[in-house]
């Protein structure tokens, strides 16, 4: 996802906001408000602990360095997190005086491209940590005093949930920066789970109408709204993301040397960028493949979903396999639609929040789990691991849903509609559950490989299959 929540004027959009929901986390009485306040405190605390782990893992020289022109220095992300929290929760929701109004422009992502941020007079690491800590202390007071009802920005704790999601999104961005960083490993986590069951082949998703998006989830962002009926013809989609083993077959079959498998733009990019394999793959003199994972060189795990491939690579593989990338609507229907009830679920497995038995989320591991590791997380149509592990490219551009209304400000989604973006779905091992659900939409340029992205192909059904 591109930089988000970057307005220097945290004023709600002029257009009417989505109708606030009162189910889910919505507050209806004092007991519910106390529960909501506790949940908000939990997600904010979880996000800040992760931010601290990602920034404390390296020394000051690494914090201020730019490890790739595609990414900000880690210290910029740290202060930006604090600045957005100040703009929305301290000044707007809380009505308090500014902590550091003088730095608003420095941490406005729309004013400064990532490649240019190291040249700015940024807060140093100690200042950034102190600033973010001061802001958070004020937020605790705002949270304690706020009724969490009475207006669309605070109803159901929306603004607090929005900021928790924003911090976790930047934490995933910082995790991607760690992957691009040279040097010895500084992050650690248990290995991702091995497969528990075998997963192969495709699943058939029946044709017909389903409800796409949401109007009920109180923390859903504007581009996920409103829920709307979409007719999707019957189609087939792979039961799991494409694995390293499957992708290696494409590489070995000359997939990067065959222009007929690539679109014209894709082949031009493959050639100019010199692509020969997914990013961070390395082949030794004996022909064995390895992958660099946060500074460690590890053998390629055949059953893991392939990661760090761009949209053009995914498109070429799908064509090689005689398939195509799914549309965004197809992906969501495969993930959420329950043919038995005709309803759309919040997650593939139902309404319950993710846990360790259902999905690989929250940087619990530093890699995707093997295909077949989470049978309890399957969708009603039989698709596995549609939440967590790897973001999945779709064929769709990033466009508004019918009835879209910008909220709480236009720069979160609206300015990106219609550009050269492709939608990604499902989250990755680096995505926290607060920023991942069956309706969540991510987007990026089709050449991007530093994000934790993979894919699963789909295809139209033949006449005898319908």
| Tens digit of each residue's pLDDT (9 = 90 or more) over 125-172 | 999 999 999 999 999 999 999 999 989 999 999 999 999 999 999 999
The larger pLDDT score, comparing residue 31 to residue 263, is at 263
Q: What are the start-end ranges of the E strands in 369-433? A: 391-393, 422-425
What domains, with CATH codes, occur in the chain?
Answer: 30-180 (1.20.120.450), 191-466 (3.90.1580.10)
Torsion of CA 380, 385, 388, 389, to 10 degrees: -170
pLDDT at site 57: 98
pLDDT of residue 229: 98
**In this model, does residue 97 exceed pLDDT 60?**
yes
> Average pLDDT, stretch 110-117?
94
Q: Can you tell me the mean pLDDT for 460-466?
A: 84
**What's the CA gap between 407 and 328, in Å, rounded?**
22
Query: How many residues belong to the chain?
Result: 466
Taking only the tens place, the pLDDT of each residue in 365-393 is 999 999 999 999 999 999 999 999 999 99
**Sheet-wide strand order for 235-238:** 202-205, 235-238, 458-460
pLDDT value, residue 11: 36
| Mean pLDDT for all residues in the chain | 93
Cα distance between residue 384 and residue 435, in whole Å: 20
- Output the CA angle 427-4-52, nearest 5 degrees: 70
Q: Is the pLDDT of residue 225 over 50?
A: yes
Of 363, 263, 249, which is closest to residue 306 (Cα–Cα)? 249
> What was the pLDDT predicted at 7?
34
pLDDT tens readout for residues 10-67: 333 433 444 443 334 444 467 899 999 999 999 999 999 999 999 999 999 999 999 9
CA distance 290 to 284: 8
pLDDT of residue 170: 98
Residue 1's pLDDT is: 62
Question: What integer is the mean pLDDT of 343-351?
Answer: 97
User: Are the C-beta atoms of residues 135 and 99 closer than 8 Å to each other?
Assistant: yes
303-335 pLDDT per residue, tens? 999 999 999 999 999 999 999 999 999 999 999
Whether 248 has a pLDDT exceeding 90, the answer reads yes
Check residue 464 and give its pLDDT: 82
8 vs 14: CA distance, rounded Å: 16
Q: 270 falls in which pLDDT band (50, 70, 90)?
A: very high
442 touches 169 (CB < 8 A): no
Q: Which two tokens stand for residue 309?
A: 């491939």
pLDDT digits (tens, 9 = 90+) for 414-441: 999 999 999 999 999 999 999 999 999 9
In this predicted structure, the answer to whether residue 253 has a pLDDT above a threshold of 80 is yes
Report the percentage of the chain scoring pLDDT > 70: 94
Going by pLDDT thresholds of 50, 70 and 90, the confidence category of residue 3 is: low
Query: Which residue intervals of 60-111 are DSSP H helices?
Result: 60-64, 74-85
Helices marked H in 219-356: 244-252, 264-273, 311-320, 328-336
Position 150 scores a pLDDT of 87
| DSSP tag of 324 | B
CA 54/CA 380 separation, integer angstroms? 36
- Please write the tens of the pLDDT for every residue from 168-224: 999 999 999 999 999 999 999 999 999 999 999 999 999 999 999 999 999 999 999
Distance CA 301, CA 307 (A): 12
Query: What pLDDT does 384 receive?
Result: 98
Q: Which residue has the tokens 């807060």?
A: 123
Give me the phi and psi of 283, to 5 degrees please. -115, 130
**Helices then strands, each counted (H, E), the chain:** 9, 14
The answer, yes or no, to whether residue 9 has pLDDT greater than 80, is no
The tokens for 406 are 């910008």
Residue 2's pLDDT is: 57
């Amino acid at each position: 996802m591109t930089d988000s929540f970057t307005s220097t004027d945290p004023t709600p959009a002029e257009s009417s906001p989505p109708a606030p929901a009162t189910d889910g986390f919505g507050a209806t009485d004092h007991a519910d408000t106390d529960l909501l306040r506790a949940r908000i405190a939990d997600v904010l605390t979880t996000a800040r602990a992760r931010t601290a782990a990602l920034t404390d893992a390296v020394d000051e020289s690494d914090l201020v360095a730019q490890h790739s022109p595609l990414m900000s220095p880690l210290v910029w992300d740290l202060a930006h997190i604090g600045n957005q929290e100040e703009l929305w929760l301290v000044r707007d929701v809380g009505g308090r005086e500014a902590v550091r109004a003088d730095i608003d422009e420095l941490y406005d992502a729309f004013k400064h491209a990532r490649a240019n941020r190291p040249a700015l007079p940024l807060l140093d690491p100690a200042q950034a940590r102190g600033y973010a800590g001061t802001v958070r202390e004020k937020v605790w007071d705002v949270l304690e005093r706020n009724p969490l009802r009475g207006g669309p920005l605070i109803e159901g704790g929306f603004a607090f949930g929005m900021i928790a999601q924003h911090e976790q999104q930047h934490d995933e961005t910082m995790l991607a920066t760690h992957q691009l960083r040279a040097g010895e490993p500084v992050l650690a986590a248990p290995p991702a789970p091995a497969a528990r069951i075998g997963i192969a082949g495709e699943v058939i998703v029946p044709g017909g109408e389903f409800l796409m998006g949401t109007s009920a989830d109180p923390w859903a962002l504007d581009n996920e709204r409103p829920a709307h009926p979409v007719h999707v013809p019957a189609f087939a989609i792979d039961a799991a993301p494409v694995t390293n083993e499957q992708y290696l077959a494409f590489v070995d079959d000359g997939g990067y040397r065959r222009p007929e498998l690539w679109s014209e733009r894709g082949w031009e990019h493959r050639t100019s960028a010199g692509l020969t394999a997914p990013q961070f793959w390395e082949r030794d003199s004996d022909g064995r493949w390895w992958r660099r994972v946060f500074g460690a060189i590890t053998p390629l795990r055949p059953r893991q979903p392939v990661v760090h491939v761009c949209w053009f690579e995914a498109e070429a593989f799908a064509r090689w396999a005689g398939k195509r990338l799914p549309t965004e609507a197809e992906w969501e229907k495969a993930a959420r639609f329950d043919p038995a009830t005709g309803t759309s679920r919040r997650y593939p497995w139902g309404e319950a929040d993710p846990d360790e038995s259902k999905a690989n989320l929250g940087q619990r591991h530093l890699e995707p789990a093997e295909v077949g590791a989470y049978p309890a997380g399957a969708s009603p149509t039989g698709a596995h691991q549609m939440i967590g592990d790897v973001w999945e490219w779709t064929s769709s551009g990033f466009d508004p849903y019918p009835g879209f209304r910008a909220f709480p400000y236009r720069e979160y989604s609206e300015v990106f509609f219609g550009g050269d973006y492709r939608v990604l779905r499902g989250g990755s091992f680096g995505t926290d559950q607060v920023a991942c659900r069956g309706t969540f939409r991510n987007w990026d340029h089709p050449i991007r490989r530093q994000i934790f992205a993979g894919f699963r192909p789909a295809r139209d059904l033949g006449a005898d299959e319908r």
